[in-house]
Structure 1
Amino acid sequence: MENRHSIGIFDSGYGGLTIFKSIIGKLPEYNYIYLGDNARTPYGDHSFETVYRYTLECVEWLFSQGCPLVILACNTASAKALRSIQQNVLPYKYPGRRVLGVIRPTAEVIGNYTDSKTVGVLGTRGTVKSASYLMEISKFYPEIRVLQQSCPMWVPLVENNEHLGPGADYFVEKYIGRILEADDRIDCLLLACTHYPLLIPKIRKILPENIRLMAQGEIVADSLGDYLNRHPEIEQIIAKEGIRKFFTSGDTENFDRHTSVFFGEHVASEPMSVG
């Protein structure tokens, strides 16, 4: 591979743009290709088999664009597809490529955010059902008690730009109330979905001051920087021109309108066909 390649960033829709924004803040010099599978979002309620198939199709498309490294900036894809891709596809079909997720980097540092050793995880139904956070956190911090709460209405609220309106208050209070009632020792809440940071203003209004709110953007960005430092064979073939390209399997005009909310700036996306 010549030194003209990009880092691929994948999400089922818009949420991964919040991760991408943090990555650019830490590592602006690299070239990136962002792909949102908006035509088939949300992934949260799909089966493991469907999420795996969709994710693999998108990862392989990013590989075809010359990305030697792909970040699954999606908790559901990380929970339901990452391990199978890493173990069953890459060694045999793409031995020189790498795919990383957002769950392991978060699990590695979550112990720094809790004093009571009791944390709550807020995620999609798919992420919660996979129990991926329970398994990963237990590897690094077996003493931490993890409670989970699915928040099925949060992604639709954010996707429809209703997250700051009064209609979102009920569902924010509903899911936060449920997780805090499960154990009064919780002192850290993890937003285990890339859409959820957009609800932080409403969450903070009702969250007790002693409870830390943990978003993943900075954590994933730091982890990627560390990975590139430890893997010069990957880092050295990625172009450093600061070029960012955006693709969506959905409507480009709709995608571009949403980027100002998730990414903080307007972009011009290109279409990509899947399925």
Structure 2
Amino acid sequence: MNNQFSIGVFDSGFGGLTVFKSITEKLPQYDYIYLGDNARSPYGDHSFETVYQYTLECVEWLFEKGCPLVILACNTASAKALRNIQQLDLPKKYPNHRVLGVIRPTAEIIGNYTQTQQVGVMGTRGTVNSNSYPIEINHFFPEVKVHQQSCPMWVPIIENGEHENEGADYFVNKYLQELLQQSAEIDCILLACTHYPLLIPKIEQYLPKNIQLLAQGDIVANSLVDYLKRHPEMEGQLAKNSKRAFYTSGDVTTFDAHASVFLGQELNSSKM
């Protein structure tokens, strides 16, 4: 078996780089290809059909680039496209390829972080309207009640570089209070969008001290470690040269400038 393939990481834009960063810190030895579909982002307000079409096109592109394993580091794509890709496309066209998302790994462990059995989920409209988190969490922790809050202004604030400025405070506090008004018993909040970790310093200013905040990067990274241990047939195909390649469907210069904020280092991307 040739260990010459990369792990693909896909997001509609920049947010998946927070997951990419955690994965590469946890598993630095593998080769990775990151793809951001910036030309068509954000995905949050698109229909299920559109998100499925866009996501499938990008996944197939990563397959062609030599990625037998692709991580959808995007909550909206995981919510609206993953199931169809796994059940319809992979068995028919790509039986030896695998596509994993960010929702299930999070749902599998979130119940371990709540004492009151009441958790909050903050995400895009698309993720919230899909009800993917309540459905998945119920499979693993049926006793946990999930309260959801969509935060439509958070991604634009972050992608326009305003997340550290005072103007972001209004919308951070607004959505947080709207969530907490749903229940006084919430003791754990999941940031169900990979952009949102950039807002953690702001969120913590308005978050009651008794509430734990969860971001997804480390959760997904730990889940991938476990997956590769359980699937040596996949792990054995992967190259271990620590190579990183970044691609975008949008403007390369714009991508590089914004991506460095999410990744914490400079990078040079290529056009998809």
Which residue identity does 1:121 align to in structure 2? V
Please give the secondary structure, in 2, of the residue aligned with 1:121: strand
| 1:125 alignment counterpart | 125
| 2:71 alignment counterpart | 71
Alpha-carbon shift at residue 3 of structure 1 (Å): 1.4
Once residues 182 and 222 of structure 1 are traced to their aligned partners in structure 2, the CA distance between those partners, rounded to angstroms, is: 31
Once residues 259 and 150 of structure 1 are traced to their aligned partners in structure 2, the CA distance between those partners, rounded to angstroms, is: 24
| 1:96 alignment counterpart | 96
| 1:263 alignment counterpart | 263
Query: Any residues of structure 2 matched to 1:196-275 within 5 Å, and which?
Result: 196-272=196-272
User: Could you list the per-position Cα deviations for residues 243-275 of structure 1 after superposition, in whole angstroms to 9, with x for gaps in the alignment?
Assistant: 000000000001100122100001100001xxx
User: Could you list the per-position Cα deviations for residues 154-179 of structure 1 after superposition, in whole angstroms to 9, with x for gaps in the alignment?
Assistant: 00000001011011000000000000
Please give the secondary structure, in 2, of the residue aligned with 1:24: helix
Which residue identity does 2:120 align to in structure 1? G
Extract unaligned runs of 5+ from structure 2: none
Which residue identity does 1:223 align to in structure 2? S
| 2:22 alignment counterpart | 22
| 1:62 alignment counterpart | 62
Once residues 18 and 99 of structure 2 are traced to their aligned partners in structure 1, the CA distance between those partners, rounded to angstroms, is: 19
Which residue identity does 1:265 align to in structure 2? Q
Once residues 134 and 207 of structure 2 are traced to their aligned partners in structure 1, the CA distance between those partners, rounded to angstroms, is: 23
Which residue identity does 1:232 align to in structure 2? P
Which residue identity does 1:224 align to in structure 2? L
| 1:139 alignment counterpart | 139
User: Could you list the per-position Cα deviations for residues 201-260 of structure 1 after superposition, in whole angstroms to 9, with x for gaps in the alignment?
Assistant: 000011000000000000000000000000001001100000000000000001100122
Q: TM-score, normalised on structure 1?
A: 0.98
Please give the secondary structure, in 2, of the residue aligned with 1:237: coil
| 1:13 alignment counterpart | 13
Once residues 28 and 161 of structure 1 are traced to their aligned partners in structure 2, the CA distance between those partners, rounded to angstroms, is: 28
Which residue identity does 2:25 align to in structure 1? G
Alpha-carbon shift at residue 2 of structure 1 (Å): 2.3
Once residues 178 and 92 of structure 1 are traced to their aligned partners in structure 2, the CA distance between those partners, rounded to angstroms, is: 44
Aligned residue pair count: 272
**Stretches of 4+ moved more than 6 A in 1?**
none
Once residues 32 and 108 of structure 1 are traced to their aligned partners in structure 2, the CA distance between those partners, rounded to angstroms, is: 25
Q: TM-score, normalised on structure 2?
A: 0.99
| 2:81 alignment counterpart | 81
Extract unaligned runs of 5+ from structure 1: none
Please give the secondary structure, in 2, of the residue aligned with 1:238: coil
Please give the secondary structure, in 1, of the residue aligned with 2:66: coil
User: Could you list the per-position Cα deviations for residues 11-59 of structure 1 after superposition, in whole angstroms to 9, with x for gaps in the alignment?
Assistant: 0000000000000110000000000000000000000000000000000
Once residues 186 and 28 of structure 1 are traced to their aligned partners in structure 2, the CA distance between those partners, rounded to angstroms, is: 36
Once residues 66 and 193 of structure 1 are traced to their aligned partners in structure 2, the CA distance between those partners, rounded to angstroms, is: 27
Which residue identity does 1:256 align to in structure 2? D
Identity %: 69
Alpha-carbon shift at residue 89 of structure 1 (Å): 0.4
Which residue identity does 2:34 align to in structure 1? Y
| 2:39 alignment counterpart | 39
Which residue identity does 1:100 align to in structure 2? L
Backbone CA RMSD of aligned residues: 0.6
Which residue identity does 2:82 align to in structure 1? L
Once residues 75 and 186 of structure 1 are traced to their aligned partners in structure 2, the CA distance between those partners, rounded to angstroms, is: 21
| 2:162 alignment counterpart | 162
Please give the secondary structure, in 2, of the residue aligned with 1:182: coil
